[in-house]
Amino acid sequence: MVTDNLTSLQTFILEEESRFPNASGEFSWIVSAISLAAKMIAYKVRHVRLQGGVGKEGDVNVQGEEQIKMDVIANEVIMRVLGSRSSIAVLGSEEDEQPTILRKGTDGGKYCVLFDPLDGSSNLDTAVGVGTIFTILRNDPNIPDAVRTVCQPGMQQVAAGYVLYGSSTVFVITTGHGVHMFELDMSVGSFLLVQRDLKMPRRNKVYSVNEAYSEGFPAGYQRYLKWAHEQGYSSRYIGSMVADIHRTLVNGGVFLYPPTKKHPGGKLRLLYEANPMSFLVEQAGGTSTDGGRRTMEIVPTEVHARTPLVMGSADEVAHVMNHLRG
């Protein structure tokens, strides 16, 4: 006998909006658009070799990184799908130098959407899980400049999430009322709820970091790694942030992206990667910090600001912080 009703992502978001009597339904249209873009990208990722999507595009993005073909394809898909949503004022992509103003607040632009179209895309040629990260912010109609509009601390996010394109296509989202996981059912073409109110374990003896760069880590991180080895911790590192955070969110543990000699201010993008993931991790009961401050309290100074990152299970992050403090 079936005991649980099937709930689609669209139905779930409508239920969330019902918490607010004055909700217009515009927010649900944005999430619906993101899910549509995710389905299109998921198809292209599954057929990346057949469609000639493997390899480099030849251009260099604003980060100084050579673009992968699928970076460009995924970016175009999201821009085109979200560009038609009348409630979006500003769209910002990690691949673009500046956010794009679609319409003013006086013309109905209530929200800003920032996204990393295809995190971990360099792993596509080896069939490793990759993903899309997104965050939704409120638009301030009194700020005409797009960069100033989106440079909001993470605690002001309306919603955030990611889509993992792996052995299955998983959509994880928070609107500030817990973390909820959906899986794409290809037979009906819909994301269906598979876990409501996901909670991270408070502890798990697993750390995720690119240890090849450990000699360039600050002393506190090196002390933590030495301690973790002595305590019998396991290392799990995929090299695709969405995949690493998804595993950490589900199983517990800690994800580390320390500053290095090459990137003393950190490498991960605050607005496009760190803040959305921090929102999810905190809503699941975890902790996120830049090694000193709560990640979501950092006020961005530029749209492509970077940050170090320590996030995961509350107890595991606490162990890292103890070693950073010496």
Q: What is the DSSP string of 251-316?
A: H--EEEE---SS-TT-SEEIIIIIHHHHHHHHHTT-EEESSSSBGGG---SSTT-EE-EEEE-HHH
d(Cα 157, Cα 153) in Å, to the nearest integer?
8
Does residue 1 carry a pLDDT above 50?
no
Q: How far apart are CA 326 and CA 317, in angstroms?
A: 15
Q: What is the pLDDT of residues 266-301, one digit of tens each?
A: 999 999 999 999 999 999 999 999 999 999 999 999
| pLDDT number for residue 107 | 86
Average pLDDT of the segment spanning 75-80: 95
Cα 137 off chain centre by? 14
Q: Where are the domains of the chain?
A: 9-195, 206-324
The pLDDT, as a whole number, for residue 237 is 96
> Residue 24 above 80 pLDDT?
no
C-alpha 260: how far from chain center:
22
Q: What is the Cα–Cα distance from 309 to 324, expressed in whole angstroms?
A: 13
Query: What integer pLDDT is reported at residue 4 of this predicted model?
Result: 67
Q: Strand pairing of 88-93 and 111-119? A: parallel
Say if residue 125's pLDDT is above 90: no
pLDDT of residue 181 exceeding 70: yes
How much is the average pLDDT of 22-40? 89
User: What average pLDDT does range 305-325 have in this prediction?
Assistant: 97
Phi, psi angles (nearest 5°) of residue 74: -65, -40
Mean model confidence pLDDT for the chain: 92
- List beta partners, residue 269: 306
Q: For 188-229, what is each residue's pLDDT tens digit? A: 999 999 999 999 999 999 999 999 999 999 999 999 999 999
pLDDT tens-digit series, residues 154-168: 999 999 999 999 999
pLDDT score, position 144:
83
The vertex-113 CA angle with 91 and 157, nearest 5°, equals: 145
CA 35 from centroid of its chain's CA atoms: 14
Residue 160: in which H helix or E strand, if any? strand 159-165
How far is 87 from 104, CA to CA, in rounded Å?
Answer: 10
CATH number belonging to domain 9-195: 3.30.540.10
Q: Give the Cα separation of 227 and 68 in Å (integer).
A: 38
Do 267 and 285 touch, CB atoms closer than 8 A? no
Its pTM stands at 0.94
CA 3, distance to chain mean position in Å, is 32
User: What pLDDT shows up at residue 26?
Assistant: 87
The three-point CA angle 161-164-166 to 5° equals 170
Rg (CA), the chain: 19
pLDDT confidence bin for 2, thresholds 50/70/90 = very low
The yes-or-no answer to whether 9-195 and 206-324 have a common fold is no
120 with 239: CB under 8 angstroms? yes
* DSSP β-bridge partners for residue 289: 294, 310
> Using one digit for the tens of pLDDT, what is the confidence trace for 41-71?
999 999 888 776 666 655 555 565 667 889 9
Nearest CA to 266 among 237, 288, 244? Answer: 288
- Residue 59 CB neighbour total at 10 angstroms: 11
d(CA 265, CA 308): 7
CATH of domain 206-324: 3.40.190.80
* Phi and psi based region of residue 169 (left: phi greater than 0; alpha: psi -120 to 50; beta: remaining): beta
Alpha-carbon span 174 to 278, nearest angstrom: 11
Q: How far is CA 198 from the centre of its chain?
A: 16
